[in-house]
Structure 1
Amino acid sequence: MNLTFNRVAGLSMKGGRRDNFFFCLLDHHKESGRWFLKSILDVKDEDEYSDGDDILNQWIDKYDLKHVIVDFPLSRPACHECNLKCPGVAKCPVGHVEKVREDITAILEIDRKMEEENPKEYERRRNFEDLTHFDRDTFSKESQDFMLSKSFKRRLKKGFVPYWNRSLDFWIWCSYHDQLLELFNTTFDSFGNTSLMMLSRFSYMKRHFPQECLFYEGHVNLILLELLKSRIILKKNILNLTDLDLGVEARLDIVKKIENKLGIFIYDNDLEIIVKNVRAFDSFLLAVCGLQKAKGQARSMPDWTLPHLTNFILPSFVSGT
């Protein structure tokens, strides 16, 4: 197997300044061809002798890390980098913003024509789509495929705001909006769950990391959706993650299935840490996302999502992709 790199770490930093977070390192063993969970670091800010940020820097130096996957934006919305005299959101001339605006208009126009040309059929299909279909494949269609769900249509009508959204957001809405809503009761919003404190902290930390260390963005819920799409995990595994009684069991089941499918070796004490700590579990999934990137198994992003700036990874777990 040809790998673009053989060591990758996942770092979930969602949370407050004093929240513990975990750094999960996967290492490829060339002789056996397997990946190993080499280290999982519990970074705490409670130590009176050392700061969590300093511990993290030492850990990165120790393992000579070059590839790290994080769970927050690495690029900013278009307005933050723009020096033009602003004509307003509706007339923004920035290329990728125009592209998103035109695509939203086109999707809503097709939907409007469908309703106008045959309102009774449109209403019949609308009512059918609104019913709960327990036997329907979650991935039978992308959100942008017709018939549009009411929630996706509302999302488009709210519009795309270049001072808050990235063009990547729209691409993910079109592909995963309905699935995220169905299984996680949420949608994708680059900065919806990202605090200024966290971005400032990472900006500070990054200044102390080696210059050759590359950072990528991942998203835990999207990783879980891709695992479900490839039938590595089950829908009930995802639904049980938020259950107080079944959460630990669900995380254990997911990790064991990933371990078996991807050939990852995990020591029992590390496995216990991952399944008992949500933040450690998230960091593990981000590291797995990087593993797939190393294997060349990640979806290609359209140029208008600015992949060279976002460094966003959407892994694929389907063999041969």
Structure 2
Amino acid sequence: MSKSRVSSTRHSSRESAPVTGDVIRFAGLSLGGGKADKACLAILEYYPKHHKVFLAKIFERIRTEENISADLKIHEILEQYNGMIHTLAMDTPWRVPNCMSCKLKCPGYEHCSEDHIQWMWNYVESKNQKKKPKKLFTPYTQRAVEMHLATELEEPFQLSNAMGANAAPLLARAAFILRRLNIPAIEVFPKLSVWRIGQSLHVLKSQLRSHKHAAVGEESRRGILKELGEFNVAFVYDQDRRLMIENNHAFEAFICAMTAFLEYKGQTESRPRGFPKNEDWIAFPKEKINWKF
């Protein structure tokens, strides 16, 4: 998704590096559901003068307490950085599919001439040539980007439909949080970002595919973070590294922030030719990332 301005706990005890005009900050937010206590927020700092990236803070398991919601806590944390965050990267959409907000008289998507609907028809027709029975799409739950990621990259990446049963509550929560903020935001699919970042650092594919796995996820995240450190991609304090190994939501918040940084450096993929302009896009790294900051 291209950047758009939206009108939209425990954390490390140490303080981040001093704030100066030479630092650019990126925030990564991993949401854990409407009433869950798994949300994590990572703050990444980039110092262009020294070509250094630091994981400054991780706010872990941001939860509701008595009359204070987790959503308000997230809002208050981000407000502490008012005007100092370049981009907020989230692991969930916050806008409903175009068909849900369309104001035109609806002829049904079988007869709709809107660009995104025509793109979806062209897509399914090209994929259904050898399939029986043929599979259609549902533009009130799906977006073009979810269809694109499933088949058009080096591996299939199955992203939950924006208004599907799993993603819809997260979409509503993200929209609620963003409506009170004035921060440029992008959407990130952590699984894809982990894959592209890891591939560029020569991490084993088996580790990249299992970073969320209940049994081997910790070992996978340990290996990925080890390579990030050895390639000097980002400085991470030992306590935060241990936290991200233990807590996948914290790890994915960091990955979201890293993706926002890579977008700032021009190291994320552009929309493909012919992709509908009014459709959301997801920020994800290029296959070959230039790590020379």
TM tier, smaller: 0.7 to 0.9
CA distance in 2: counterparts of 1:169 and 1:243, whole angstroms: 22
Change (3 A) 1:249 1:307: farther
In the alignment, which residue of structure 1 is the partner of 2:189? Answer: 219
Could you state the TM-score of these two structures normalised by the residue count of structure 1? 0.73
Q: Which amino acid aligns with 2:136?
A: G
What letter corresponds to residue 225 of structure 1 in structure 2?
Answer: W
Distance 1:7 1:17 in 2: 28
Q: Structure 2 residue aligned with 1:171, among 148, 151, 161?
A: 148
Asked if structure 1 preserves the Cα contact closer than 8 Å seen for 2:144 and 2:279, the reply is no
Deviation at 1:158, TM superposition (A): 1.6
Q: Matched residue of 1:17: which SS?
A: coil
Deviation at 1:174, TM superposition (A): 2.6
Aligned to 2:176: 204
Structure 1 pair 12–80 and aligned structure 2 pair: CA distance change class (3 A)? same
> Equivalent of 1:67, from 87, 99, 105?
87
List alignment gaps of at least 5 residues for structure 1.
Answer: 112-152, 181-185
2:188–2:283 CA contact under 8 A, matched in 1:
yes
* Residues 134-283 of structure 1 aligned to structure 2 (within 5 Å): 157-176=134-153, 179-180=156-157, 186=158, 188-192=160-164, 194-209=166-181, 211=182, 213-261=183-231, 263-283=233-253
Displacement of 1:81 in angstroms is 2.1
Kindly state the Cα deviation for residue 265 of structure 1 after the two structures are TM-superposed.
0.4
Q: Which has the larger radius of gyration?
A: 1
Partner deviation per Cα, 1:3-30 (whole Å, 9 max, x = no partner): xx92111101143413231101110123
Deviation at 1:38, TM superposition (A): 0.7
- Larger % of helix: which? 1
Q: Does 1:28 align with 2:46?
A: yes
Indicate how the Cα distance of structure 1 residues 197 and 106 shifts in structure 2: closer, same or farther if over 3 A, else same: closer
The separation in 1 between residues aligned to 2:111 and 2:99, in whole angstroms, is: 13
TM-score normalised according to structure 2 size: 0.79
The Cα of 1:80 is off from its aligned counterpart by 1.1
The answer on whether the counterparts of 1:14 and 1:71 sit within 8 Å (CA) in structure 2 is no
CA offsets 1:116-143 (integer angstroms, 9 cap, x no match): xxxxxxxxxxxxxxxxxxxxxxxxxxxx
Question: Quick one: distance in 1 between partners of 2:39 and 2:230?
Answer: 26
Letter in 1 for 2:194: L
Output the amino acid matched with 1:34: K
Where does residue 127 of structure 1 map in the other structure?
none
- Name 2:97's counterpart in structure 1: 77
* SS of match in other structure, 1:91: coil
Map of 2:74 onto structure 1 = 56
- 1:91-130 equivalences under 5 Å are 91-109=111-129, 111=130
Q: Using the TM superposition, name which of 223-232 and 261-270 deviates more.
A: 223-232
Q: In 2, Cα distance between the equivalents of 1:61 and 1:49? A: 19
Distance 2:219 2:263 in 1: 28
1:198 corresponds to which letter in structure 2? L
Q: Distance in 1 between matches of 2:206 and 2:235?
A: 24
Q: In 2 relative to 1, CA 308–66 (structure 1 residues): closer, same or farther, beyond 3 Å?
A: farther
Structure 1 distance, partners of 2:274, 2:160, is: 18
> Shift of the alpha carbon at 1:300?
0.8
> Does structure 1 conserve the Cα–Cα contact (< 8 Å) formed by 2:27 and 2:257?
yes
- Per the alignment, in what secondary structure is the counterpart of residue 134 of structure 2? helix
Assess if the C-alpha contact under 8 Å between 2:30 and 2:253 holds in 1: yes
Q: Could you tell me whether the CA contact under 8 Å between 2:109 and 2:117 is conserved in 1?
A: no
The change in CA–CA distance for 1:262 and 1:16 in structure 2 (over 3 A counts) is: farther
Displacement of 1:45 in angstroms is 2.5
Q: 1:217 to 1:81 in 2, by over 3 A?
A: same
Per-residue deviation, 1:203: 2.6
Work out the CA distance in 2 between the residues paired with 1:248 and 1:225.
16
Cross-structure match for 1:133: none
Counterparts of 1:34-45 in structure 2, within 5 Å, are: 34-45=52-63
Residues 17 and 198 in structure 1, CA contact (< 8 A), matched pair in contact too: no
CA drift of 1:161 comes to: 1.8
1:239–1:188 Cα change, 3 Å: same
Give the deviation of 1:255 after TM superposition: 1.6
